[in-house]
Amino acid sequence: MFTSLYGTRWENIYCPTSNTVPTAINLAVNGTLNVAETLTAEYSYKDADSDVEGTSSYQWYRADDALGTNEIAIPAASSLNYTLTINDIGKYISFGVTPIALTGALTGLEARSTYVGAVGTASTNIVRINEFHYDNAGTDVNEFVEIRIIGNLGSQPADLSQYSVSLYNGTDQSFYFTETLDNLIQTCDASNCYYVLDSITIQNGAPDGIALSGPSGLLEFLSYEGIFTAGNGIASGVLSVNVGVFESSSTNVNGAIEKSQAGAWSVTANSNTKGSENSL
């Protein structure tokens, strides 16, 4: 800046200097590449003019391979952390940052990490049969099967019609009812979504079973009051896994069989938790 005489008064004259935009370098993605695990991104902010960092913007990306084929920006994934969802299974993940300076030339070009993957399914509880009720004192009422899928509403499978729950009769080893999850009652909290097959008549056992399937086929085939091999449907030829507990004609109408976080089954006598987190 210098001062000059302009007409009858002095004026300040500013001489602008060049200023370069900031850059982001050394991008990396850290964490376990399995569904329900949280990835953390890191990077180094750099500005040739020593302008400090303002509020840089972040974006996570999903692709079919390490080259970025069919890349998409993951909706709402705009922080340094990203929790992998069921939609990421088999996919590759990248992190991008657009560096923004607090002063000077503000916005730089987006920098991207290399793609990491493929994302796996280490947890056996990502999609599971979570709770059910099939027998009680008096006329059977309030019968249901609940499926839980890890992740909030925004991270649920894009096509729920690829997931189904089937009810099996152990007497003839055949399924007698099946429905896809897109037609079930859905409730979600911050950590999980619950899908309830409600207002149905479930067989009372000795034994009977429940099968859960997804895009790749059978996920679970459980039974109560014994075991059997399914004769048809999605579980055809598969021996059931007995939950080990059962209801009876003295069970409370609001009771249920629940699965704990650790995977153990138990009978809840007086208060089911369908549509919400289990009480165990």
Listed by start position, the domains of the chain span: 23-117, 127-268
pLDDT of residue 82: 93
pLDDT of residue 22: 96
**Which pLDDT does position 15 carry in this prediction?**
52
Query: Could you tell me the end-to-end alpha-carbon distance of the chain, in angstroms, rounded to an integer?
Result: 71
Q: pTM of this prediction?
A: 0.65
Give the integer Cα–Cα distance in Å for 231 and 171.
Answer: 10
217-223, long-range: CB < 8 A, 24+ apart: 219/127, 219/128, 220/128, 220/129, 221/168, 222/129, 223/168, 223/170
Please write the tens of the pLDDT for every residue from 41-60. Answer: 999 999 999 999 999 999 99
257, 133 Cβ separation under 8 angstroms? yes
| Alpha-carbon span 56 to 260, nearest angstrom | 41
Distance separating alpha carbons of residues 219 and 64, to the nearest angstrom: 23
CATH architecture group of domain 23-117: Sandwich (2.60)
Considering only CA atoms, give the Rg of the chain: 28
Q: What is the pLDDT of residue 2?
A: 45
Q: Distance of CA 270 to CAs 137, 148, 253, 273, Å?
A: 12, 21, 8, 10
77: number of Cβ within 10 Å: 20
Mark the ranges of the chain whose per-residue pLDDT is less than 50: 1-6, 14
